[in-house]
Amino acid sequence: MLAMMAGATAWNDFSEWFSREGTPGAPADVLQAYSKKLAAGGVGEREIAARSEEVRKYMAAHPDEALVLHFNRIYTWVEAPFRREPSEMVKKVAGSRKPGRALDVAMGQGRNAVWLAKAGWNVSGYDISPVALREAAGLAAAAGVKLDTRVARHEDFELGTEQWDLIVMCFAFTKLSDAGYMQRVRDSLRPGGVLVVEGFNGGRPAERNMILKAVLDYRVLLFEDLPDVSDWGRMKAPLLRMALEKP
């Protein structure tokens, strides 16, 4: 009956299901769970295969939409495995500085932004997930602080020039190897401002100490490349932690 569901319709059906009861994970696992749900609803094998293919194609053609769906679901999923308390590293570094203007890159549900605002920082942040930012606004209101939040992608957010005394990138889905983006980040820091990076170490670089060498024009306040339990994923993994002061 529903054979050859158009791509957008198949996607709408999939995303409506996923937003309600999907378990975020690798696309193949998510599609398998969706297939099971369709089968349980009496949809035939050929129809399931056709709809899964439409969803797969839609995701490939609209990766940002798929990313937003994924993260929106994470932030409504009660079992989401991430720490809702602020990063210990952010607390340590920001707590040692005089508060000023801070930017929380891909700020998520505001665990770091709210802590910073409570510590006296004037905090802005952006994220691709509107659900995350809604939660952040709620947490800020409950804590009696203000956040300036924007729904934006890394590619689109206007970082500005010499704007920030602190930039936080915590598990932020940014690529330190993206020279264009990192130059925009550098330009947007005020002299004396600090960039804090915490996240998964993406494996051994081609050249030893490549990441460290790339930031040696800054004052290195902290550099760590050790396994630890990650705030996101809650697993023991190689983590990279850096705090860098712009000269």
Nearest residue to 124 via CA among 143, 142, 101: 101
Closest residue to bound ligand SAM by CB: 108
Region of 40-48, 49-57, 100-108, 116-124 interacting with ligand SAM (CB under 6 A): 100-108
Nearer to ligand SAM, 1 or 26 (CB): 26
Region of 3-11, 105-113, 159-167, 183-191 interacting with ligand SAM (CB under 6 A): 105-113
Among 18, 31, 54, 108, binds ligand SAM (CB under 6 A): 108
Kindly identify the residues of this chain, within the stretch 65-84, that bind ligand SAM according to CB under 6 A: 67, 71
Cβ contact 114:90 at 8 Å: no
Return the structure tokens found at 132: 């995350």
Q: Does 140 bind ligand SAM (CB under 6 A)?
A: no
Nearest distance in Å: CB 174, ligand SAM: 8
Cα 134 from chain centre: 15
Q: Does 242 bind ligand SAM (CB under 6 A)?
A: no
- Please state, in angstroms and rounded to a whole number, the distance separating the CA atoms of residues 240 and 228: 10
Nearer to ligand SAM, 54 or 198 (CB): 198
Kindly identify the residues of this chain, within the stretch 217-236, that bind ligand SAM according to CB under 6 A: 232
Among 11, 18, 121, 171, binds ligand SAM (CB under 6 A): 171
Among 154, 188, 243, 246, binds ligand SAM (CB under 6 A): 154
Strand order in the sheet with 219-229: 147-151, 122-127, 101-105, 164-170, 189-200, 236-245, 219-229
What is 36-81 written as a DSSP string?
HHHHHTT--HHHHHHHHHHHHHHHHH-HHHHHHHHHHHHHH-TT--
Q: Does 115 bind ligand SAM (CB under 6 A)?
A: no
Residues that bind ligand SAM (CB under 6 A): 67, 71, 106-108, 111, 127-129, 132, 153-154, 170-173, 232
